[in-house]
Amino acid sequence: MDYLINGFSNAFYLLTHMDAATLSAIYATIASTCYAMAAALLLGVPLGFLLGHCSFPGKRAFRLVSDTLLAFPTVLIGLLVYAFITARGPLGEYGLLFTLPGMAIGQAVLALPIVISWTAQALEDLDPRCRETLLTLGANGRQLALYALWECRYAVGMVCVTAFGRVITEVGVAMMLGGNIRYSTRTMTTAIALETSKGDFAQGIALGLVLLLMAFMVNLALAFFKRRGRA
Amino acid sequence: MFRFSRFLLLACAAGYMVCAAPVLAADTLMMATTTSTQDSGLLEYLEPAFKQETGIELKWVAVGTGKALEIAKNCDADVLLVHAPSAELEFVKAGHGVDRRQVMYNDFVIVGPAADPAGVKGQTTAGALKRILDTGAGFVSRGDQSGTHKAEQKLWQQSNITPDKNPKYFSAGQGMISTLNMAAEKQAYALTDRGTWITFADKMGDKNPLAIVVEGDKALFNQYSVITVNPAQCPKVNPALAKKFEDWWVAPATQQKIAGYALKGKQLFFPNADK
């Protein structure tokens, strides 16, 4: 029990005395999460839109695959991406392993099915009567698509938050592809794993609390903009 | 109405700015090493001196020895600092590594419940292991192909025991501290390197349910070596930098520094580089 209390006091200390190691872990966390989210959103939202808005052959099979990949174990993602970016892999010449971009590739793979499936779901959940009404009013396909896109913007915002939460708290990919290198690819989560393996549970809890605080601030910002957008 | 989308755009832009990461320094060596050198704090203690004396930036990934050798085989590291002599010799023999040099050692100890229910205190390693299983006291193994796990497997082999099927032999598949925690919870025995044991004992303080039961046996000797990943197999490896790295480890000044590293006032590693 002691380490719970120590964890809270350590967290307070960490936040008030930002040392280089913590700052670099925060930076690595934010940078790799940004890379991964940017890639996952750029690829995933259009794909999810196609999947939810249009109909095409193989749509159900595609959706099934995407839904299944929601349960993709992070360590398996790590191993698969490792096979591609290791020096002996097909992408080895780019030297991505044990770097932030390499780590972000794995995290983007993790986030992609979430973005695709949930964006598609958001579009399917739109009120079908609106679509019919718009059609009777003479809307063309392009106008219909724009309407659907605009209507589901908050749902897509929620998709971002969910994917962001999964990526920023993920440890398997970060450990395998980032390598937990000090001042370089050590993220908050791999730092927590390290402190735990060193037996410093209080420090692990402190870092975990700082991570939670970061997630809280991101969500606070989103909530703020959502409210302003609605007003 | 467009504020939300404007925000998204802004967020993306901010994201890209953050992502413009600094570029790597020119002279960098990537080392694959074992968790014990990192978790004991030795690497953080030596790294500034290494950088100052050689001008090389040392980066490391700390994993089990099995994984470290695998990473090296795939050319994802330039140099190794590991402690599994037989696996290392095989690695070098298979042409994956060159220039293996011994740098230091520490030792393993067998720890168990302070009351020693199996009565193994003062026994030889082989005798103690046999008694632990015979009395059904329980033994927690790393079970992760780390250097410590490999050393443990060798000890069982030398005692002619195959413990895997024994229901009181727990294969944890985790790091050393987690394994010790498990042994403490289960009132079982475990093999640990002395460095992790000192850290563990210090953290537990008076409440530590475990104590050292066997130590000082020659069989418990734990040798660390540095190896260069074979540049003939991995063109990315810079032989000149790697040689500087190896020379630095066996240099008398470095060896003295290793001897001077203490955790909670206890020396952890004993330098023994070949002259």
Task: Say if B197 is an interface residue toward chain A (CB within 8 Å).
Answer: no
Q: Which of A97, A143, A147 is CA-nearest to residue A127?
A: A147
Q: What is the DSSP letter of B160?
A: T
Q: What angle do CA B68, B265, B256 make, to 5 degrees?
A: 60
Cβ-based contacts of B206 with chain A (< 8 Å) = none
Average pLDDT per consecutive 10 residues, chain A (231 residues; last block may be shorter): 82 85 92 96 95 90 94 92 91 90 96 96 89 87 88 88 93 91 91 83 88 90 78 58
Per-residue pLDDT tens for A165-210?
999 999 999 998 998 888 889 999 999 988 887 777 888 899 999 9
Q: Are B108 and B151 in contact (CB under 8 A)?
A: yes
The single residue listed with the structure tokens 């330039």 is B78
Residue B118 region, left (φ>0) first, then alpha (ψ -120 to 50), else beta? alpha
Q: Give φ, ψ of A87 to 5 degrees.
A: -55, -25
Contacts from B181-185 at CB under 8 Å and sequence distance 24+? Answer: B181/A199, B182/B140, B183/B111, B183/B112, B183/B140, B183/B210, B184/B208, B184/B209, B184/B210
Are B75 and A88 an interchain contact pair (Cβ–Cβ within 8 Å)? Answer: yes
C-alpha B113/C-alpha B166 separation (Å) is 19
Q: Are B97 and B228 in contact (CB under 8 A)?
A: yes
Domains of chain B: 8-106+222-271 (3.40.190.10), 107-220 (3.40.190.10)
Q: Enumerate the domain spans of chain A.
A: 19-187
Q: Which of B5, B11, B62, B23 is CA-nearest to residue A30?
A: B11
Cβ-based contacts of B4 with chain A (< 8 Å) = 153-154, 157, 225-226, 228-229
Pairing type for strands B270-271 and B189-193 reads: unpaired
Torsion of CA A69, A70, A74, A77, to 10 degrees: 20
Q: Residue A193 is encoded by which pair of tokens?
A: 């794993």
- Which residues numbered 189-228 in A keep a CB inside 8 Å of some CB on B? 194, 196-200, 225-226, 228
| Closest residue in chain B to residue A201, using alpha carbons only | B203
What residue type is B122 in one-letter code? G
- Percent of chain B past pLDDT 90, that is, above it, reads 49
CATH superfamily of A19-187: MetI-like (1.10.3720.10)
Q: Which of A221, A101, A100 is CA-nearest to residue A160?
A: A221
Q: Which of A93, A100, A111, A229 is CA-nearest to residue A167?
A: A111
CA distance B181 to chain A (A): 9
Q: Are B170 and B188 in contact (CB under 8 A)?
A: yes
Q: What angle do CA A129, A130, A134 make, to 5 degrees?
A: 115
Are B18 and A100 an interchain contact pair (Cβ–Cβ within 8 Å)? Answer: no
Per-residue pLDDT tens for B166-195?
888 988 888 888 889 889 888 999 999 888
Q: Which of B238, B250, B255, B266 is CA-nearest to residue B56?
A: B238
C-alpha B55/C-alpha B128 separation (Å) is 48
Q: Are A206 and A191 in contact (CB under 8 A)?
A: no
Q: Give φ, ψ of B236 to 5 degrees.
A: -65, -25
In whole angstroms, how far apart are CA A211 and each of A7, A53, A109, A181, A202? 13, 36, 22, 18, 14
pLDDT at site B136: 87
Q: Which of A114, A117, A105, A113 is CA-nearest to residue A33?
A: A105
Per-residue pLDDT tens for B6-46?
555 555 455 554 444 444 446 899 999 988 888 888 999 99
Average pLDDT, chain B: 86
ipTM exceeding the 0.85 mark: no
Size of chain B in residues: 275
pLDDT at site B246: 94
Task: Say if A38 is an interface residue toward chain B (CB within 8 Å).
Answer: yes
Q: Indicate if the alpha-carbon torsion angle B118, B218, B205, B177 is positive or negative.
A: negative
